[in-house]
Structure 1
Amino acid sequence: MDRDRIVYLNGEYLSETEAKVSIFDRGFLFADAVYEVTSVIDGKLVDFEGHAARLERSLGELVIRYPFSRDTLLTIHRELVRQNEIVEGLVYMQISRGNPGDRDFIFPTDDVQPTVVLFTQSVPNLVDAPKASAGIKVISIADLRWSRRDIKTVQLLYPSMAKMMAKKAGADDGWFVQDGFVTEGTANNAYIVKNGQIVTRALSSDILHGITRATLLQYAREAQINVIERNFSIEEAQHADEAFVTGASTFVMPVVEIDGRKIGSGTPGPVGRRLRELYIEECRRNAV
């Protein structure tokens, strides 16, 4: 599109050049905000209900007021997709505690309105991503993030730094390691495959409760693929048959190298390829 994107800000649909947020907004000053990213395939929203439910949970954990109904949220998403003519891409949503009028560590009172921002990103190769056929390389990075990773907050500086560490090392991404075990990727959940079984870390406050993760594991179990939820190390991952990550913007992405060591044959394996096909197929069927 040549024209400016239309974004949503606090009840209005505006040109991206007209949307303004106060310098006193707590999302800007304290990263006091949560977010969600919903994929769009064929002009429809993928896993919307899961993202909406996690958004409500994140807001509840931070005691930020939920500003409107789930039906209204769906309407806003659909309207942005329509106005921006998104066929394949993403809808980003962020809700901060709002603007109390000045900077203060103490949370503002209930009469402060949350700041609600949504915008779209067109990603024409979301489904047919070139990396999906080649696989990605990752490096291990010490997990120095805060301990409430189950809340999807906007405090993403360390994951961003980890992405840059990976880029500097000639890799595509990083896998965080805590107490000798992989937690997750910088913006995704991590998995290995051994003897046809999927292994991934169990849900806790150590990792984000991925919506793509939940949907994919459901599909995997329905396809009679055994899923084991437990910790695994980098060394175990390096000796796995396959590895992959999942996320809203990557779906199922094969990992073919960890810390310079090839995984399996060094090419995307059959389980990961099949899971990606299955996930996209089911998403197309169930998208709203």
Structure 2
Amino acid sequence: MLYVDGKWVEPGEAVIQPEDRGYNFGDGVYEVVRIYQGQFYHWDGHMKRLIRSAKELHMTLPWSEEELHAIGLELLKKNQIGSADDAILYMQVTRGAAPRQHDIPTGDIRPVLMAFARKKERPLHDLQHGITAKLVADIRWLRCDIKTLNLLGAVLVKQEAKNAGAADCILHRDGIVTECSAANLFAVKNGELYTHPANNLILHGITRQVIIDLAKENGITVHEEPFTTGFAQEADELFLSGTTTEVMPIITVDEKPVGTGQVGPVVRKLQELFEANIKQSVNV
């Protein structure tokens, strides 16, 4: 069951207006909220980012956070996602339908909300054993801080990594590492964390911020500063972070081992801290 423009519909019943600007231009924003044991994880952070993304596109959302929360809860109910289930909630807002033109239309144009929820298990095997990555040039646009529907660049770099037999890519602009195809990236060197600063070249990840906060609270130094592909290749440990990927170890880059080629102690510590944070959030 989906929520589409004020209606509850089955997937095959969903209707998209041909001149919806989300369909024509990718003119819209979205969020993916993790659900652990039937409860939203860091809901407020996701809603704050959704509102910011819309504002950056000169969009005003006509729904309050309370209304969006109520829709999310109803989606869990209608899709039989209960207290024992891990899942995701996807919410997408397009600017709405208007005669096709490149500039932002004025007048009576109404944003369209589409949302769905579905069960999704945690990637426990990969969290335990790690994944592989490939260095790929970052071909995306220069406003990666806005969580828009324009994801073709991310699709292409992910496919390049997949074609090379890797699980994901590590993106770089002229040798400066940014992030991954749909996740932020951290390097570990001498027990300290390094990650690209949260500017326009990366998404301000909700999980990224949780990890930074947990690290600082537990005596792990965090450097939010650019670093090179060479630094990444010489790192003791690498991991990516995201809503559905959590604290995901990277054990090889371009088929060469990261550090020992095994999941390292700092990543394991952060995984433990993240696990405790999940349990705390669920039990609040």
- Regarding TM over 0.5, the answer is yes
Where 2:97 maps in the other structure, the secondary structure is coil
| Residue in structure 1 matching 2:30, options 27, 31, 35 | 35
Q: For residue 99 of structure 1, what is the aligned residue in structure 2?
A: 97
| Residue in structure 2 matching 1:219, options 208, 214, 219 | 214
Q: Is the 8 Å Cα contact of residues 176 and 226 (structure 2) preserved in structure 1?
A: yes
- Corresponding position: 1:12 with 2:7: yes
Give me the whole-angstrom Cα distance separating, in 1, the residues matched to 2:17 and 2:279. 39
Q: Is the 8 Å Cα contact of residues 196 and 225 (structure 2) preserved in structure 1?
A: yes
1:36, distance to aligned residue in structure 2 (A): 0.6
* Alignment CA distance shift 1:110-1:63 (3 Å): farther
| Residue in structure 2 matching 1:120, options 112, 117, 122 | 117
- Corresponding position: 1:253 with 2:253: no
Deviations 1:70-125 (A, max 9, x none): 1111111111122212311211111010001x21213222421101010123113x
Give me the whole-angstrom Cα distance separating, in 1, the residues matched to 2:230 and 2:165. 20
Where 1:255 maps in the other structure, the secondary structure is strand
Where do 5+ consecutive residues of structure 2 fail to align?
none
Aligned length: 280
Where 2:12 maps in the other structure, the secondary structure is coil
Q: What percentage of aligned pairs have identical amino acids?
A: 39
Q: Is the 8 Å Cα contact of residues 138 and 157 (structure 2) preserved in structure 1?
A: no
| Residue in structure 1 matching 2:78, options 61, 77, 83 | 83
Give me the whole-angstrom Cα distance separating, in 1, the residues matched to 2:8 and 2:92. 15
Which amino acid counterpart does residue 27 of structure 2 have in structure 1?
A: D
Q: Is the 8 Å Cα contact of residues 47 and 283 (structure 1) preserved in structure 2?
A: no
RMSD, aligned CA? 1.3
Deviations 1:122-175 (A, max 9, x none): 113x1x521111111111111111111110111111111111111110100011
Give me the whole-angstrom Cα distance separating, in 2, the residues matched to 1:48 and 1:129. 23
Q: Is the 8 Å Cα contact of residues 239 and 250 (structure 2) preserved in structure 1?
A: yes
1:250, distance to aligned residue in structure 2 (A): 0.6
Give me the whole-angstrom Cα distance separating, in 1, the residues matched to 2:268 and 2:118. 26
Q: For residue 181 of structure 2, what is the aligned residue in structure 1?
A: 186
* Alignment CA distance shift 1:246-1:146 (3 Å): same
Give me the whole-angstrom Cα distance separating, in 2, the residues matched to 1:179 and 1:238. 15
Give me the whole-angstrom Cα distance separating, in 2, the residues matched to 1:7 and 1:207. 30
Counterparts of residues 1-288 of structure 1 (less than 5 Å): 6-86=1-81, 87-100=85-98, 102-124=99-121, 126=122, 128-287=123-282
1:57, distance to aligned residue in structure 2 (A): 0.3
Which amino acid counterpart does residue 268 of structure 2 have in structure 1?
A: R
Where 1:131 maps in the other structure, the secondary structure is helix
Give me the whole-angstrom Cα distance separating, in 2, the residues matched to 1:47 and 1:23. 34
Deviations 1:202-245 (A, max 9, x none): 11111111111111111111111111111111211111111000
